[in-house]
Amino acid sequence: MSDKDFPAVASHDLLSRQDSRCLGARLRKSMPRAAQAEWAASKDRVDPVEILKQQGKSRITALLSVRYDRMKVSPFTFLRGAAAVMAQDMAKAPVSGIHVQSCGDCHFGNFGSYASPEGVPVFDINDFDETLDAPFEWDIKRLGTSLVLSGQENGLSPKSVRQLVKIMSLSYTQQMVRLAGMTPLQVWTDRIDFTSAISNFEDPKVRARAEKLLSDRLDAAKGHYGLVSSDKSGPSLKEKPPLVMRVPDQEETIRLAFARYIATQPPERAILLKRYNLRDVIFKVVGIGSVGTFCAIGLFATADGETMLLQIKEAQASVLEAAAPPSPFKNQGERVVTGQRIMQAVSDTFLGWTHSNASIDSDTPDLAGAGRQFYVRRVKDSRLAAIGADVAQDGLEDYARLCGRALARAHARSGNASMISGYLGKGAGFADAMAEFSEAYAQQTEQDWKNFVAALEHGKLAVQ
């Protein structure tokens, strides 16, 4: 049974907690938790290399080599860039029928810390390019697979690697039980204070290292991450070729897109934005899965030289559309922004979306283009976001537990926590299933990675 054969249980928001929990428990009959462990490549499985080829057609051709170089480093980096591959595999997997707002690209590298508007460091999911309504277990399966691959890279034993997934899954279950007992308003305002979360790390060395990194990087963030310089003429952005650079013939297009974003903001945000002027723009290559999509940074400044950085990033259709209903939003940027606002407890004040309606040659690094759509946000500090991943090498168990906690809280905001909790039960059976699936899919990913590297060596993914 696939997700398209099983209707989403999304019309039971007004059921009591007890009725919701009972309904979740009944769903085990149609989709036993043990069946969640199943993974076998279908006979008609599309070649992952072909999926990446097709995806590359909507990317900036000149940047595809950067994307492929990053993906070929290891099976884990391949997984990060191959969300479209896993999405098509999930399309044929059995599902629980319980839907949530899904991250869509839920590997552990897409969790991290960032400062709230009040300057308090929080921990949450921080990438929503693929977000869409989907079965809750898809995010858990992708997160589990990423933990297996990372654990293997770090030299952990098979038993320890399996334990990572079980720790994450049990943490998810425990948090869902806690959230199921809260009011919807309490769930909506629940957040993870990263400082407090670090203090609960079991490994004292990992805890001390994380606390030091957090302190250092919060201070560094005040300097705009080294992207801004200032002289007599005022502040400007620094180039860091080849990944942060100016594209002079596209500057006007970028400025027009930012202007369109500002013009469509609600009055209360427009009052703030009109105190800033767009002084400079620069092109930036980001991530692994996102490489080849357009991304630019705008430097905004007041008359007194106070600065703010906004990022404009291209949003394409979610890879989950291969397996789940399409987005109801006409603008993919709106899909990303809405998904982020639903899943994150503390979202960026400046989240918004815009578009470009000019026509261009799609093989050039151009913002414009028929159908290109974008979202806008504050520039996030990648070093602050990466603290968890940085300490994960020494403390993967603590990090796995924290990711499971954050994912449960994100899912509970849109899903029925009592229903999910009812389906999970005490969690041990589900955790075993997630561990078994994650191990099997990690093996599949490793084979896909080998085939991908071979395809690169034989010129099957040659970039013009």
- How many angstroms separate the Cα of 34 from the Cα of each of 25, 171, 408, 430, 434? 14, 18, 20, 7, 9
* Inside any domain, residue 9: no
37 and 153 housed in the same domain: yes
The predicted-structure confidence for 435-444, as pLDDT tens digits, reads as follows 999 999 999 9
* Inside any domain, residue 4: no
70 and 154 housed in the same domain: yes
- Nearest CA-CA partner of 111 in 399, 335, 362, 464: 399
Residue-level pLDDT at 367: 47
pTM of the model: 0.91
Q: What secondary structure does DSSP assign to 381-426, as a single string?
A: -HHHHTHHHHHHHHHHHHHHHHHHHHHHHHHHHHS-HHHHHHHHTT
239 and 325 housed in the same domain: yes
- How many distinct helices (H) and strands (E) make up the chain? 17, 12
* Inside any domain, residue 207: yes
Count CB neighbours of 11 within 10 A. 8
Sign for the pseudo-dihedral over CA of 85, 419, 434, 108 = positive
> Containing H/E element for 117?
none
What residue ranges in 19-167 does DSSP mark as E strands? 99-102, 111-115, 121-125, 132-135
Residue-level pLDDT at 221: 61
Output phi, psi for 4, to 5 deg. -75, -20
The three-class DSSP label of residue 138 is helix
| Under 8 Å between Cβ of 26 and 116 | no
Q: How many residues does the chain have?
A: 464
| Under 8 Å between Cβ of 223 and 215 | no
* Inside any domain, residue 267: yes
416 and 443 housed in the same domain: yes
Residue-level pLDDT at 463: 66
pLDDT per residue, tens digit, the chain (464 aa), is 444 444 444 456 788 999 999 999 999 999 999 999 999 999 999 999 999 999 998 888 888 999 999 999 999 999 999 999 999 999 988 899 999 999 999 999 999 888 887 778 899 999 999 999 999 999 999 999 999 999 999 999 999 999 999 999 999 999 999 999 999 999 999 999 999 999 999 889 889 988 888 887 776 665 566 788 888 788 999 998 888 888 887 788 788 889 999 998 999 999 999 999 999 999 988 878 888 788 999 999 999 989 999 999 999 999 999 888 889 999 999 999 999 999 999 989 999 999 876 443 344 444 444 457 999 999 877 777 777 778 777 789 999 999 999 999 999 999 999 999 999 999 999 999 999 999 999 999 999 999 999 999 999 887 65
Domain boundary among 382, 408, 435: 382
Number of domains in the chain: 2
The predicted-structure confidence for 402-422, as pLDDT tens digits, reads as follows 999 999 999 999 999 999 999
110 and 209 housed in the same domain: yes
Output phi, psi for 373, to 5 deg. -130, 155
Residue-level pLDDT at 80: 96
137 and 228 housed in the same domain: no
* Inside any domain, residue 7: no
Residue 219, C-beta contacts closer than 8 angstroms, at least 6 positions apart: none
| Under 8 Å between Cβ of 434 and 141 | yes
Domain boundary among 348, 382, 416: 382
Residue-level pLDDT at 371: 56
Residue-level pLDDT at 224: 61
376 and 398 housed in the same domain: no
Domain boundary among 354, 382, 410: 382
261 and 193 housed in the same domain: no
216 and 237 housed in the same domain: no
Residue-level pLDDT at 241: 84
| Under 8 Å between Cβ of 71 and 282 | no
392 and 377 housed in the same domain: no
52 and 185 housed in the same domain: yes
Angle, CA of 94, 98 and 103, to the nearest 5°: 90
393 and 378 housed in the same domain: no
* Inside any domain, residue 155: yes
* Inside any domain, residue 5: no
Domain of 374 in residue numbering reads as 224-382
